[in-house]
Chain A
Amino acid sequence: MSLFAATGLAVASAWAVYAVGTALILAGALAVVLLRNPVHCALGLVTTIFGIALMFIDQGAYFLAAVQVIVYAGAIVILFLFVIMLLGVDKKEPRAPANVRSLGPVAAGLGVVAVVELLVLARVHYWADGAKSTTAALSGPGADVQKLGQSIFTSYLLPFEMTSALLVIAVVAAVALVRRRGSSPPQPPAKKVGALRPSLPGQAATAPSAPPAHQTAAAASRGPAAASSPSERRAIG
């Protein structure tokens, strides 16, 4: 009898955890979609991420729950907030036009129908009827993080190495995208030399070690700022 009571308590607590996680996830997601201030949207995203981490813990994916909180809430959302503050876009978005807003009730009704269909399907059909444990068994002795680490560093070693290349490419791409073209660091000294150059034109022209004709032509076509090659500077000096 006490065993039955304990089982009933376990079931009730499992459903309670699921309900709390669902409330967090859906409230956060609706906040992202419906609120018009981007900072509030970012806070809704944090709420959703914590709910997802709760669901991960509930299903035994402890390492992924920790990574979810660290990477998403700790890095990605902070990056979002950083960009919002940096660009000063934390003002309200204008409302959608009336013909779009009038479709809102229709879309909400269709969404409710789709959710009801999903719930019915979830009751009448078992969704995971494939072969069990084809890559590696999740149950059994050992911690979750140990199995995941062994799997990543043996079966998935090549994809893991490719993610490092992906991260390097992403960093280079971010720098290349955000760098200003007009004021890149090497340009100001070149401009200074070019500004000095008109004061001694004859010396450069009559210097014995002047560059060949095609180089001079190319330098002239590039303009005065770019015409200070090292050999020319030596000739001037």
Chain B
Amino acid sequence: MSVPGDWYLVLAAVLFGIGAAGLVVRRNILVMYMCIELMLNAVNLTFVTFSRMLDDLGGQDAVFFVLVVAAAEVVVGLGIIVAIYRRRAGATADDVNSLKG
């Protein structure tokens, strides 16, 4: 017996909203990445909740692949961040505007 799935979906939506707001508000690139991780976790929670509500294994498979892609994404993203900080120490997201038209 556990709580109805709607409550998990609401919680996931709130978590996604907090992550998206943090991505917009924060300027430290590392913290922006952490906010992306929050959003990924919210989507994972949604997948697992729908998997339970529909009695379907597909949601858990999707979470498995999301985890792999998130790990690869973090590796590449942190590589980019290290490259940015090496070029210009203490940079925020506002300073990386070389491609701005």
Interface residues of A (CB under 8 A from B): 7, 10-11, 14-15, 17-18, 21-22, 25-26, 29-30, 32-33, 38, 41-42, 44-45, 48-49, 52, 55-56, 58-61, 63-64, 67-68, 71-72, 75-76, 79-80, 83-84, 86-87, 89, 93, 96, 100, 107, 111, 114-115, 118-119, 122-123, 126-128, 130-139, 144, 147-148, 151-152, 155-156, 159, 163, 166-167, 169-171, 173-174, 177-178
Contacts and interface: CB of A to CB of B under 8 A. Distances in A.
A177 to B, nearest CB: 4
A76 B54 contact: no
B55 A93 contact: no
A96 B94 CA distance: 12
Dominant secondary structure at the B interface: helix
A127 B9 contact: yes
Nearest to B68: A163
Nearest to B52: A59
Interface in B33-54: 33-35, 37-38, 41, 44-45, 48-54
Given A118-B13, A127-B5, A152-B61, A177 B76 contact: yes
Contact of B2 (A14, A72, A100): A14
Given A111-B21, A127-B5, A128-B50, A174 B75 contact: yes
Contact of A33 (B3, B21, B41, B54): B21
A132 B76 contact: no
Nearest to A65: B48
Contacts of A32: 18-19, 22, 31, 34-35, 38
B78 A18 contact: no
B39 to A, nearest CB: 10
B96 interface: no
Contacts of A144: 60
B55 A29 contact: no
Contacts, number: 230
Contacts of B71: 71, 75-76, 167, 170
Contact of A128 (B2, B5, B17, B75): B5
B79 A133 contact: no
Contacts of B31: 32, 38, 41, 93
B74 A130 contact: no
Dominant secondary structure at the A interface: helix
Nearest to B24: A107
B10 A119 contact: yes
B30 A38 contact: yes
Contacts of B82: 83, 86-87, 177-178
A167 B41 contact: no
B74 to A, nearest CB: 5
Given A33-B35, A68-B67, A59 B83 contact: no
B61 A148 contact: yes
Given A64-B63, A174-B75, A26 B14 contact: yes
A30 B18 contact: yes
A156 B58 CA distance: 10
Given A93-B31, A135-B56, A136-B57, 10 more contacts: A25-B11, A38-B28, A56-B48, A59-B52, A71-B67, A72-B70, A87-B81, A133-B56, A167-B71, A173-B76
